[in-house]
A and B are shown apart, each in its own frame.
Chain A
Amino acid sequence: MSRDKSLVVDGVRQFFGPKNSRVQALSRTDLVIEPGQFVCLAGPSGCGKTTLLRLIAGFIKPSEGQITVSGSEIFGPGPDRGVVFQSPTLYPWMDVASNVELGLKFQGVSKDQRRADSERYLQMVGLTDFAHRRTYELSGGMQQRCQIARVLASDPEFILMDEPFGALDALTRERLQNELLDIWRKTGKTILFITHSVDEAVFLGSRVLVMSPRPGKILFDEPAIFSKPGESIAAEEIRSLPAFLELRERVRSSIQHSH
């Protein structure tokens, strides 16, 4: 695999708080995310997953080390790294379609093209009928899908997702997991997906990372290719594979022994 388009976290450490009483949220972290990977990052809550994602998104500057995309250091957020937030950050002053088109609007894409694109992505996430509703009229799951459509429509190279399905009921979560896998298989995007669910991480990821708490440290990093790009295996089939169960068990015990 080529390394030119990869995302590299290089010796990053993160502290919060004032100098004399600062807390270390992330211990020295090195991580290379290759193009096309679906990286799932699991770990107990408060271990620093969101911190790592926000560093990569460019929302905070690392206290130490640097993050590079395609070899050049990142300074702040950019359209190459789309973010799906834990709680949807849609704009209530726009309707659903305008939210989805926003990235394209910022890039200067023509109105007709924007409409066409938003229609496509709204269909992909099953929100066609809600295109002209206000975002606060959507349920939590629909808002999350709208957020995903918004990020997909702006066509970033990396999609960073912070427990996007955490607040959803089991049924909706499962459906969205399958939809996301489908999208990944079709588009070949590079995804960093944060979750506190071991099952979700092993099921979705082409690579699974586990982080230990206080300060956050990646202590488990293995491939988990139960769903390759271009393939489509039924979810139940994957979940009954012995290799799936075995990896899930190892991830679980590595989280349990991390604290």
Chain B
Amino acid sequence: MVIPLEGLEYHPSGSSADPHDGPQTVSKSAPFWVRVRKSHWTTRLTALAAFLVVWWFLTTPWAWNGDKPIMLPLYLPSIPSVWNAFIRANTIHPIAEGVDREVVGEYGYYLWQHLLATLQRIGIGLFFAIVVGLPLGLLMASVKIISVSVEPYINFLRSLPPLGYIGLLIVWFGIDNTSKIWLLFLAAFPPITIATIAGVSGIKEDQIHAAQSLGASRLQVVSSVTVPAIAPDLITGIRVALGFAWTTVVAAELNNGIPGIGGLAYLSGTELKTPLTITCIIVIGITAIALDSIIKAMERVLTPWRGKA
């Protein structure tokens, strides 16, 4: 289970960079990566070390256990075997021990190629989610009829588990990339639309009035006030959307999902290659956290006024 939105609930207004809300005071001029609370990193590293020790303990053969690990490798592979799976997935290696034929990575692709294929799908799905979700949100926020008629469908769509309708998408759009991108798009656009609506309804009336009194045309009001005013909410929406897309990615890649990190995780599981499955899970999780950090950083750079005005 990936939780790519780690930290969102603690800093809904992106104030994690605020030097006054933590026990530590770091100079305001310091770059944000310095301002990340250092004490948290020691805690996190200690927790990781403890986790690895427990993992090692459970998967190492013990004499008192009849030279067997407490958990069998099929259920929980050992740390070295996961590491080997990771190396195999990134190199050209013999197809099996003692066999001359060599193969590339896993199922013909290096691990990074699997990851890249997935990132591409998510990127395209997210791109269309923004292209559709943002204008739809603006429309719904400004035209009552549209909002009243479309909102139930968005809520309906949001409540569906992606596994429920991937089969339908495959029937409609084929088993290749198109149906996968559709699934990621459908997972990603509702949060963007909803965030846009929330952003528009949060605009102070007088901010619009002020622009109009300065002579702004309708279009100028949108470009100078509406769009920047909703930017913080929009970025939050994109962040949530990306998280949804990630948690949907295995479902999207269940069928014909190679190359694809989600497809690889699923396929390796069905073939009982648990070390490889765990490698995939770790890569999926770390990538999700990295992507989320990138968006959080963009938030600070693009909308520095968030929570301040």
* Residues A134 and B215 in contact in the complex (CB < 8 Å), given A89-B210, A92-B309: no
Query: Whole-angstrom distance between the alpha carbons of A154 and B211 in the complex?
Result: 11
Complex contact A85–B304 (CB within 8 A): no
Q: Is B303 an interface residue (CB 8 A)?
A: yes
Complex contact A150–B308 (CB within 8 A): no
* Residues A107 and B215 in contact in the complex (CB < 8 Å), given A89-B210, A102-B224: yes
User: Which of B40-48, B73-81, B116-124, B201-209 has 4 or more CB atoms under 8 Å from chain A?
Assistant: B201-209
* Residues A91 and B214 in contact in the complex (CB < 8 Å), given A136-B308, A136-B309: no
Q: Which of B216, B229, B231, B308 contacts A106 (CB 8 A)?
A: B216
Query: Whole-angstrom distance between the alpha carbons of A148 and B308 in the complex?
Result: 21
> Nearest 6 CB-CB pairs, A to B?
A79-B215, A92-B309, A92-B305, A103-B214, A77-B212, A93-B228
DSSP class of B's interface residues: helix, strand, loop or mixed?
helix
**Which residues on the A side are within 8 Å of B224 (C-beta)?**
91, 102, 105-106
Complex contact B215–A83 (CB within 8 A): no
Within 8 A of B (CB), among A62-100: 76-79, 81-83, 85, 89-93
**Which residues on the A side are within 8 Å of B308 (C-beta)?**
92, 136
Q: Look across to chain A and name the residue whose beta carbon is closest to the beta carbon of B215.
A: A79
Query: Whole-angstrom distance between the alpha carbons of A65 and B225 in the complex?
Result: 31
Q: Is A57 an interface residue (CB 8 A)?
A: yes
Complex contact A154–B214 (CB within 8 A): yes
Q: Is B39 an interface residue (CB 8 A)?
A: no
B interface, CB within 8 angstroms of A: 204, 206-207, 209-217, 220, 224-225, 228-229, 231, 303-305, 308-309
Q: Is A135 an interface residue (CB 8 A)?
A: yes
**Which residues on the A side are within 8 Å of B211 (C-beta)?**
102, 106
Complex contact A93–B305 (CB within 8 A): yes
**Which residues on the A side are within 8 Å of B228 (C-beta)?**
91, 93
* Residues A85 and B305 in contact in the complex (CB < 8 Å), given A79-B214, A102-B211: no
Min CB–CB distance A221 → chain B (angstroms): 26
A-B contact pairs, 15 of them (CB 8 A): A78-B215, A82-B214, A83-B213, A85-B206, A91-B207, A92-B305, A92-B309, A93-B303, A93-B305, A102-B214, A106-B215, A134-B304, A136-B305, A136-B308, A156-B213
